[in-house]
Amino acid sequence: MAAKIRFRYDDLEVEAEGELDTAGRLGLADVPVHYRRVRLLVRVRTEESDERLARLADLMARYCPVDSLVRAAVPDYEVCWERLEVRPETRARD
């Protein structure tokens, strides 16, 4: 999606955290075997504007099939986007 809208970035990191009741997977309780809570933190190092970063996040939420699948299956799902500071050595030189 970033390439499609020509969104430039130097680095991208994703941190995932999930919560599930393992008793369901072990057959010890009648609870769902999938995650009931998932949090994603997407960190991106970019000089793009806040508006462009928000647009990328919106497009990913709308068109990413994995995001759509998780959103439909997990009752408590959240994705947060965070900007990383641009390193001086990666800035364009004159």
Task: Tell me the per-residue pLDDT of 23-68, one tens digit each, with 9 for 90 and over.
Answer: 878 888 888 888 899 999 999 999 999 999 999 999 999 999 999 9
pLDDT at 77: 97
Residue range 8-30: mean pLDDT, rounded: 90
What phi, psi does 70 have (nearest 5°)?
Answer: -65, -45
Q: What is the mean pLDDT of the chain?
A: 90
The CATH number of the domain holding residue 17 is: 3.30.300.20
- 3-class SS of residue 84: strand
In a domain, 1, yes or no: no
Distance CA 34, CA 21 (A): 8
2 assigned to some structural domain: no
pLDDT at residue 90, as a whole number: 57
- Give 93's pLDDT tier (boundaries 50, 70, 90): very low
Number of structural domains in the chain: 1
